[in-house]
Structure 1
Amino acid sequence: MRRRRPVPPAAFLALLAGLLCVPGAACAAPPEGVMSSEAFLKTRDFWPEWERSGEVFRVEGRVRSVAGGTLRLENVPLTVRPSAGSSLGRAENGVARVEVTGRIASGPSGPFLQSTAVRALSSDAAEFNTRKLALDRDDPAALERLAAWAEGRARFYNDPALARRAREVRRDAFDLRWNAAGETTERPNAAPAGVPPGVWAQLALLDAAPDAAPEGGTDGRPAKLADAERADRVHEALRTWWRAVRDDGNADLAALAGQIRRRLPGAATPPAAGAEPPSAELLAAYDRTPAETFAAADEAARAALARRFFARVERTRIEATAAPDGRNGFAVAKVLDARLPELAELAEEYRERELAWRTGRIPSTSRADAAELADLLTQRGEPARAKEVLRTWLAARERSLRSEGVGGLIRAAEEYRALVGDDAAAVRLLTEAYAAANPDSPEEAAVAGRLRDLGMTRAGGRWRTAAEAAAMPIDPITAAMRDGRVVVGMTAPQVRAALGAPPARTQAVSRLSVAEVWIYAPPAAAFRDGLGAGGSIVVHLSRPKSQPPEEATVTAVHRL
């Protein structure tokens, strides 16, 4: 008889560990994936063995604390200490959840988790949002799996907020199953608010009626209903439901609208573009006597009436979200366009309500809001209305900026140019700013520069356009300065502007006045002024002693 080869002890232990490591059971060897902190705690009996064998594993969990180069996970008794050459990474920056890669080791104070890598993870709240966004919101099983994950985390970490969100998802999943529970004859315990029990029982009875059975069948099942009769019964029940809830602001109209869409052919289909609408007489008759009109209609007319019924309920539901002052008109219109495209005129009315609300607030709104509204109106093909919005805002802004003096007037002028390109308004404000600025001040110079940039020139003691300045009669002093001559009445700066600084000058001071003589030698004196040619020009100036030198005026001019 052939003898069996003995199994080595190490191989036997590995074989035994493989047999024991079934899904959901504790294993002698760590799992290959990432363990949650809760799952990690369930392997506690194997930690000594993992320490002896140097098993490397991964565990994730919420961060309880980070201090002294170590980390503690919530509800995990082992301290995380980085191995030589590694660190806690971003965990030191206050992250909420981490994934730790490492092994169990022992030190003077007992076992600890020696990490080789620590990776920052998103918080449970963020992970919840990510999973929720990724799943099919119409799949109750997927929602229930998300709820189960959140419930487990909430229990382990004692997290009421996460538990509440898990309950909300459970509720969403339940609502989906409830809305699809038409094949049962039992009324759900969580039926929508305001549904008459008789209506729900009628719908359940219709769902239980077979598609094929003898009329008046005797097998205990309801008799088969003809398609038209079934539609009549569904329509009648849903109209009864609508009459019971249409005046109840807390009623669950979403459930009713969903039942209409699902049960009445044509209700979910908006009118095709270019299709002939139902006659006004048919629609008026349906509004007066819906049950009788629906029962007498042919298949095509029934589809149109079902859509009208759905639109009435859905419109009521949507309009219930509209703010009385119209501030959310575009949001309401967007929903109307998506769900009831045939009500385009109503959607436009809501947009106009919001535009009116926003326009009324323009004087007190921000520049960005005013510009946004103007852009919106421009996109809608209303440039004149857009400009009026900006002018309304500018008028209010101008009133506010006037209190800031010259600087405010300058900013108001810039706003007029930037928003509506109104150079005339800018000139008006800058001219006012120039008059208010201190003479010869930096503010006056800045305003003057802006006015010149706008094509204005200073002439005749005021700011004028180039055309206005050219049309002005030239005064003798201005003409003399232009020709390089000196005439009586010029000021000292004007003489310097015409001939330059005097090469020689004398001054005589009396008790009340100061007299000066400026002498210009040829060729500066070679000009035609009626005094003859050649020789030096002698300019006599005088001023009261109390006035500055710049205010001295020419009293006489002659040649030597």
Structure 2
Amino acid sequence: MNAAILKFAVFSCLLWQSPVARGQAITLQKLLEQQTEWPTYAVDGRKFEFAGRFEGRSANTLRISRFEISCKLPSNGTFPDGIKSGQRIELIGRFLSENKKLSFVVSRILIKETDLDRLRSRINDILVDQPEKRLDVVMEYQSDADFYLDSALQAEITAVRTDSLSRLRVLARSDVTKLRALLQQSVPLGVKPELIQTLQFESIYAASKDPKADVDALVLEMKSSCDGWDRLVPPIPERLKLEFARDAVAAFLAAPEVDRRGLHRMLYKSLRLRQMQMLVKLDGSNGLEIAKLVRTEFGIDDPLAAEFEERDVQYRLAQLATLSRADLQGLTELLSKLNRAQQVPHAARDWLLAQERKFGTTSLAGLIRTADEYLFVADLLQTTTYHQQGVELLKQAWTSAGESSPTDADQLADRLKRLGWERLNNQWMTNAQMNTLPKDDVQLGIREGRVVRGMSMPQVVQTLGQPTKISRIASRKAVCEMWSYAAEGSAGMVIRFRRSLVDQTTSSLVEDVSRIPTQRSP
């Protein structure tokens, strides 16, 4: 401030202390609220003092910011040069009405520093370790910054508030209550967004460390206030993951905006996984359901999904003996899906052994039920080994039923036939084996409804029924018996049996089969 200003300011200050000179003190904002009363004040001659901001000067007239009427200097008064626009001026004077036009006649002036300079000076007088006092001081200047739309003053206020609240944040670290109070205090003060982001992140992070934390509430808070919580791409870099694990808050403070979104994502993930962990059943039986949630929210390659799937697999394997067929099929599909198909045969074998122990193989019902399970697994895994074991159990069941339950034996024989097995020559044979038998095989002839050499009389009756005519020829060594079969509209058949008289142990067996052409009417 130059010598002229200083001299004028000191002189004015001396006059300022006079009670007569001061009149009624009022702020410019309050004076503007009473604007409709100004004409009355001009008539009354009431004296006012108010502080305003210097905007400019023309001859003996001053312009005060936001004060729409002119301020007239006394004719014998002087006004120093070098006053900056925006510098604070305190005025004493009266309203004057001339020709219905109002003005303010100044009797005394006190020139002061700008609000910005005054604020900086006062802040510098307060130690940095007294952030609360600094906050109180800047609060005094907020109304002026708002009233004059002073961006420079507002920027200074914001900077002081941001610095002070940042220092308070350091003092409150890990104290959730204090951090949340600072966050609540910071939002309406218009501090820098980076500080609000930090307070939001740190308060949630600190709260999450409490084992009894309300995780659901923290997740909702993140969704409503932390940008990037649902970001799937781009992938979070490994360096940021390491920094988060080492010191999440320090990482957040040093991070640019893009990394802050990644840190939001990691904090959300840690909370969301705690939610999911609370959903997991103690036995792990809903692991697949949780794994699906993990893959949906955090990507198909997230290793945590595999951990939940493993818990589900272990649960099913532990319950293997009690699994139904559908459950076993689901387990085999799951193992294949998880690239663990090599475990499927072992699981199937253990399941079959459990079923065999459960149903047993000493009773007819146990044999049939166990055979069913082996055949089911054979179809499921497309393996011949279990198919053969199932067939062998059905054969054992057929043998067991032969004496105790002929009806069950017939049903088992039909089932074995559908599986490609038939009983022939007192043994079970496959279709392939039967196709290798000679055409004159007695049992094959019976099966196909044909009479072949070597058949006994009962076997012929079983195949063709009773003959229409029987004739015998005897010699000293043998007896020949011929059975005739007449077929209407087709050739007849004569079957010749021979029985040796020399060997009394032999029976009559088919020696020849011949067909007789049907005789036509003349």
Give the TM-score, by structure 1 length: 0.47
Give the TM-score, by structure 2 length: 0.50
Q: Determine which structure has the larger helix proportion and give its number.
A: 2
Computing the radius of gyration over CA atoms, which structure comes out larger, 1 or 2?
2
Greater relative contact order: 1 or 2 (C-alpha under 8 angstroms, separation 6 or more)?
2
